[in-house]
Amino acid sequence: KAAKIQLIIEKATLVFKRKGFVDVTMQDIVDECGISRGGLYQYFGTTAEVFENVMVNNTTDDDMFSKRFILAFIESRAINIM
pLDDT tens sequence across 26-65: 999 999 999 999 999 999 999 989 998 988 887 666 666 6
CB 39 within 8 A of CB 12: no
Q: Are 71 and 78 in contact (CB under 8 A)?
A: no
- The pTM for the full model equals 0.75
The pLDDT of residue 82 is above 50: no
pLDDT score of 81:
47
DSSP summary character for residue 61:
G
In whole angstroms, what is the distance from residue 20 CA to residue 2 CA?
25
What integer best gives the mean pLDDT of the chain?
84
Count CB neighbours of 20 within 10 A. 9
CB contact at 8 A, 42 and 12 = no
Q: What one-letter code names the amino acid at 72? A: A
